[in-house]
Structures are given as structure tokens and as C-alpha cells.
Amino acid sequence: MVAQRALVLCLCVGAEIASAKRPPVGRFEQNCAAKKLCNRPLEDRDPKLHEVSPDAPKGHLKPLGHADFADSWAGAIDVLDEIDPETFWTKYWPNKPFILQGAAKKSPAFEKWRSDSYLGDNYGTFKMKCENKNEDRLTDYCGQERLGKFIKCGSDTLPYVETHMKLNKFLPKFRNLDFDKYVITQMPDDMAGDWSPPTFFNCGKRHPKDRAAGKEWMTQTYENNFWISHNDGKNFSSSVIHYDMNHQVMCLFEGRKEWIMWDMMTESENIPLWSDLYNQKTHTAQGSDDSPVDGERVDLQLFPQFAKARWTNVTMNAGDCLYTPALHLHYVRSWDRNVAAMTMFQREERYDPQCGGGAPPKEPVPLSAYDTLWSFPEEDPALYGWNVVKMGYPNWKRRFLFRLATLASKDKLTPRNFAEVFQGERPFSKEDKKRMKTVFESLDLDGDGKIGKDEQEDIFQSRELRYFAKDVSVDMEGGRGEQEEDVEMERYNLVGDARKGKSVDEL
């Protein structure tokens, strides 16, 4: 009998401990625009969506930018007519956004990309990544512990769907409102000749051995993206509230975009984020993140602190370019036929007042003149990442080439530590090791079994090394992934009990 009581007591205590560790269940709904209830101006929505009790906090269930949020408005984003690199790097970088009026009109793309037929005739055979026009990321967190709760998603939760299709297949459909997709993809390299981004972000510091002759002023670009969507004048496309890891320069060639922004350095304590990856003390982040706050129906009873978050805003018109700093939280609505392009540079880049010893151009040059880290489809069909949309992939130059160049500067780059730079990232096969040996030997021009300081430049110019570094980086990201054309990939990220056959409603 005593033993039985002890067993019961043990089980009860164990149950209490398990219960104490289990977070409360939190049921979250997808945002109102994704459900096609709030993807239009407030006056065209069902008023019941925004009805509140008399004692509700001011702004509750209202869309971002509503007059009820005037008390937390921090003013409009700067709108400029011109800006030079020195002003940009010393006044605006790394944390102050601005609009550069009319800068996109200097590009051939401003006229050419307004034509569906031009885009189709010239770039129609390229694969594009497509998503639903009103973004929602709730399914990234279903069945996980977030915000101190177990995130429960109902059976009516729409999956995040990603589709890859050629532009020529997209263009005949995208004006139909029943075709709920827009292009948000890595820009094909062939399009880079049409767009000349503004020059203000030039003069980023380069490794002394990594400067192109005659273009010493050139900042290292990381990734280029392309957007195209269509809305009928009342409907709009929308993002979630989120921040990105890179500095962004976007130009708009047609349509209109409304931007609402928050400075994470001052406002992060008032804004909930799903994954809590941002560190306010150091203004750094472990990765990009987004917020559970619905931009079209802000729930101030669930997130009361959000009412205190100071925000800025700007309307971007066709012909404008926008600088969005890395880690700067933002929400975007896009109207009409909307075409935009973006180039990025990473947070690690720093200002070089000497511009590498070369004067930057006063007028924009085509983006094709820059050496972007990630190409699309790729610079060679033999590359592992050929025709893979590589958005957010690792910086292979900093991760590998910079480390190799540092070892070479100390005359310490031997086959062994050359291998260690790469093998520290993932296990290598015999084929990998054989290829690595071939790459090393191609750099060891004098055959002394060592790459020294006099051979540093070859590290940045070697095609064999560049291809190897890119292939390893793509492999680190999971390989070629699931990017088959014309296949809708549903990414409903349910974990735990959902894998045991239970429905979402049972969780």
C-alpha cells in the first residue's frame, strides 16, 4: 500500500512538472489580408471586421497608418532629390532610410519594364519564384513554441505556397485577380543591363586584392531581386511586418508602394517578433524575423505595447528609389501593376572614403557592371546552384575567400588548412576532397605546396575556387531543394503531434 501511494505521488508530481513546463496554448489567426478580407482600403471592407467595444484601446483592430496611430507617428521618411556616397555613408548608413525621388527614371527599365510583351520577349524563359500576393507566415510557426505559447493553428489555416514558373507562363495570368500570385524572385542576370541603380551606395570598402581595375569604387553587391504584381486599383498586395538582414536599394518602375517602418534600435521592446532573433544592445540579429501583429487589423488587446511603437512612413511612386537599412522593420502595401527591382549589400560592408583609389561615377551605371555574389540562373550551367533561386544564401566570399586570403597573407595557406576552411562547414566526400586538391594546386602556381602573400590576388580571381565556394555554399543551404517548375510547394510547418496523424484542431 505504501509503495502504491508512493507511485501515485510520483506520478502526480511528474504530471505537475510536465504541466509546469508545457506552455499555454495560443490560437493565432492568419492575417486579414491573406484571407482576402482586408486587401483593400478600409472603406471597402466589411465594417464588422473593425468593430470594437467602447473601452477598447485606441487603434485596436485598425490598419497600420490609420489616424488612430497618430500619437506614435515619428514623422515621414526623408525624401531627397540627390545624394552622394559620402553623405550616404556618414549620415544615413547604417540605420536611416530615405527616398531618392526620380532616380529610377534614369534606367531603361523605367520605360521597358512597363510592357508585358517586352518582359516576355526578353526574359520570358527565365524561372521566377512566386508567392501569394498577400503574405502570411503563420504556418512557419504552427505546432511550435513561440511567444511563450504553443502555437495552435486551425484546420482552416491556409498553407504558405511557393511556386516556380517561367515568366512567360506568369504574364498571361497575373492580371486576373483570381490568380493570387506575384513574382518575388532573384533577378535573372540578363535583366541587370536594363537597370542602373543610384550611385550613392558606392565606395564600400573592398579587400585590397579584390578590386576590379577601373572600378575600384564598386561596392560588393550581394543579391538582386525582381518583383511584379497586379492589383485592380482597390486591391493591394502586402507583406508581413518584418526585417531583413541586408541593406536594400529598391527602385520602383510602375505602381505605388506604401511603406511603414520602425527603428529596431529604439522600438524593438514594443514590437513582438516570432523568433526573438534581434539583439537591441548590439543591434545585431541571428537571422531575419517577422511579427505576429496583423498590419491590417492590429490587435492591441493581444499586443498592447505595440501602441507605443514609434513609426515612420513614406509613399513610393513610380520612378523613386528607396534605401531600407538592414534590420529595419517594415510593412509594405503595393498597388496597381507594380514592378520593382532591388540590389542588396551586406551589413559587414564599410565605408571607404578613398573609394579604393578610384572616383565613383557621377551617373548610374548598369547593375551588370557590378560583381554580385549570387547570380541567376548562374554563371555556368555546371554549377550546383544553376537555375536555383538563391535568396538569402551564405556570403561565400567572406566565409571562404577572405579566410583563405588572411592565411595567405601570413604565408600559412597550406593544403591542410585550405581544407580545414571548407571542411569545417560540412562532411566532405572523396570527390569533394579530390576537387579541393585540384583547386589548391591551381592556385599554387610555383608548386611549393603553399599559397603565399604574393598569390592573394589569385584567390579572388580564380574561377575554380569561386565555383567550388559557391557549390559548397549551395550544399550548405540544403542543395538544390524543391524548386521544380509549375509545382506548388505547400510549406505548412506542423511539427510534434501533427506528425503522429492528429489533425491541427486536435493539437
* DSSP H or E stretch at residue 346: strand 329-346
DSSP β-ladder status, 98-100 and 78-80: parallel
Whether the per-residue pLDDT at 60 is higher than 80: the answer is yes
Mean pLDDT over the full length of the chain: 91
At residue 489 the predicted structure's pLDDT band, cuts being 50, 70 and 90, is: low
pLDDT in tens, 222-247: 999 999 999 987 899 999 999 999 99
Query: Do 238 and 36 form a contact (C-beta atoms < 8 A)?
Result: no
Domain topology for 396-476? Recoverin; domain 1 (1.10.238)
State the CATH class of domain 67-392.
Answer: mainly beta
At residue 294 the predicted structure's pLDDT band, cuts being 50, 70 and 90, is: very high
**Domain positions in the chain:** 67-392, 396-476
Q: What is the 3-state secondary structure (H, E, C) of 422-454?
A: HHCCCCCCHHHHHHHHHHHHHHCCCCCCCECHH
- Identify which of 241, 24, 276 has the alpha carbon closest to the alpha carbon of residue 152: 24
Whether the per-residue pLDDT at 110 is higher than 70: the answer is yes
Q: How far apart are the first and last CA of the chain?
A: 37
Distance, in Å, from the CA atom of 370 to the CA atom of 27, rounded to the nearest integer, reads 47
Q: Supply 111's cell numbers.
A: 520605360
Q: What is the pLDDT of residue 88?
A: 98
Which residues, 6 or more positions from 81, have their beta carbon under 8 angstroms from its beta carbon? 100, 101, 102
Distance, in Å, from the CA atom of 392 to the CA atom of 69, rounded to the nearest integer, reads 33
Say what the pTM is. Answer: 0.91
Phi, psi of 84 (to 5 degrees): -100, 165
